Amino acid sequence: MNINHLVIASRESRLALWQARHVRSALLRLYPACAIEILGMTTQGDRILDVSLSKIGGKGLFVKELETAMAEGRADFAVHSAKDVPMLLPPGFRIAATLRREDPRDCLVSSRFSSLEAMPNGARVGSSSLRREAQMRERLPHLSVIPVRGNLDTRLAKLDRGEYDALVLAAAGLKRLGLEERIRGFIEPEHSLPAPGQGALAIECRDDHDELIALLASLNDAETDACVRAERAASRALSGSCQLPLGVYGVIEAGQLHLRGLVATQDGQTVLRAQLRGAPRDAESLGGELAAQLRALGADRILGG
């Protein structure tokens, strides 16, 4: 590979391309002599829109084609929303950097209602996440939570056509695309615990490209990296995927990593929660400990279906 001429693999959605351009700009500020192209690709997850992700193989459908492009040498690295990266990467790949996290919260988008609590019985809330659905069903069982697929613009168009009364989305994507005015209210982690990696960008590359790995490491944000590694470790230990309502969220407070997690049934009837604190340097072991706490509370009964 030519370290002075790099190719970024990216999904072709507006948000994914924004993320790839953001990383390109950050690299060019550090390495202005480097030429960086973006290879836009449509993934299987983008093509199949009439079935929920939990039924067609999970979030790995958004990254498989990008990994193929890297394996074949057509691209050097890929930029992902960290929450879309499978907890187990294929052999030969690694996360080379995790960028500073944007707002990790979920948010409400609606032209009619200012909060979930203000919505009447049977109001239709679109969600692409079993995690969000379970937490809404636990807290607000009178709402009708309906799956919604497609990229961010597609989902917003469905809302604007009146197919839903509101959407619950990740705030980070709206902010990145300059659509913050669409947000009617933020949902704090206490009410909707984020997905592992939510709000962060992850850069994936082949693990045999040492010079590229060193270059990409300059973009790594240590605090975000520790939190996301802890979140992913907990999810990995729980066999986490979008087929399971699972939330894990870490934040560094006063030098300590505060890690919270939940496992739930999709109907919200059972929600198990745990939390702990520890040193950021022990991020992955903290994730394992959190998973063990949730298992001790009975998570295996949920994980086993």
Cβ atoms 104, 82 nearer than 8 A? no
Q: Report the DSSP beta bridge partners of residue 187.
A: 106
Report the phi/psi class of residue 150: left, alpha or beta, with left for phi > 0 and alpha for psi in -120 to 50: left
Residue that the structure tokens 């979008």 belong to:
242
pLDDT for the residue 55: 46
The ranges of the chain annotated as CATH 3.40.190.10 are 1-99+200-220, 106-187
**What's the whole-model pTM score?**
0.92
> Is 84 an active-site residue?
yes
106-187 — its CATH code?
3.40.190.10
Residue 252: count of CB within 10 angstroms of its CB: 18
pLDDT in tens, 204-244: 999 999 999 999 999 999 999 999 999 999 999 998 555 78
Cβ atoms 99, 201 nearer than 8 A? yes
Pick the CATH number of 221-305 from 2.60.40.1730, 3.30.160.40, 3.30.70.3270, 3.90.650.10: 3.30.160.40
pLDDT in tens, 76-124: 999 999 999 999 999 999 999 999 999 999 999 999 999 999 999 999 9
Rounded Cα gap, residues 126 and 273, in angstroms: 24
Q: Which fold has domain 1-99+200-220?
A: D-Maltodextrin-Binding Protein; domain 2 (3.40.190)
pLDDT for the residue 30: 96
Say whether 215 sits in a helix, a strand or coil: helix
pLDDT for the residue 43: 65
The ranges of the chain annotated as CATH 3.30.160.40 are 221-305
Collect the ranges in the chain with pLDDT lower than 50: 46-51, 53-56
Name the active-site residue from 46, 76, 84, 106. Answer: 84
Q: Which residues contact 233 (CB under 8 A, 6 or more apart)?
A: 283, 284, 285, 286, 287, 288, 291
Cβ atoms 270, 256 nearer than 8 A? no
Among 178, 182, 135, 138, which Cα is nearest to 156's? 182
Q: How many CA atoms lie within 13 A of 57 on its CB side?
A: 11
pLDDT for the residue 304: 76
pLDDT for the residue 56: 44
pLDDT for the residue 254: 96
